[in-house]
Amino acid sequence: MGIHTLQAQDHFNRDWPTYVYPDAFSFVTTPLSGAFLGQVTIDGIPAEDDGVDIIAAFEPVSGICVGTGTFVSGGNIFGLNIYGDDSTTPEDDGMNPGENFLLVVYDASANRTITYTQEFDQWSN
């Protein structure tokens, strides 16, 4: 996966799912994962690092969280592992090849989650 720049802002579109932090941000680690790297600003300000702001990937069809990450390097660089589905279990616990995912940022200073309103496609291990 490449490096992406995300500018998170509130979007009041009722078609996008709402994810609540910390409840919706739990996930299962599996033997399969892909890395997502990028830069995030929230309303033009770099995301806070050291575990203050959190980023998560969600599978929009099932709504499950498939990985979370924190911010480092002055708050705007993140490394996010996105976990694949473990085919040895009956549960859908991660991404399958070709599925899309959404990115959601938890902004601790405003106690809000912000969904980046573009799906990323073609997950691969």
How does pLDDT run across 53-110, given as a tens digit for each residue?
999 999 988 899 999 998 988 677 777 999 999 999 999 999 988 889 999 999 999 9
Looking at the whole model, is its pTM more than 0.75?
yes
| Residue found under tokens 């085919």 | 87
CA distance 61 to 5: 24
The number of residues in the chain equals: 125
Per-residue pLDDT tens digits for 13-52:
445 567 889 899 999 999 999 988 888 888 888 999 888 9
Q: What pLDDT score does 7 carry? A: 56
Residue 77 Cα distances to 28, 83, 103, angstroms: 23, 19, 14
Residue 8 pLDDT class (50, 70, 90 cuts): low
Q: Are strands 101-107 and 33-42 parallel, antiparallel or unpaired?
A: unpaired
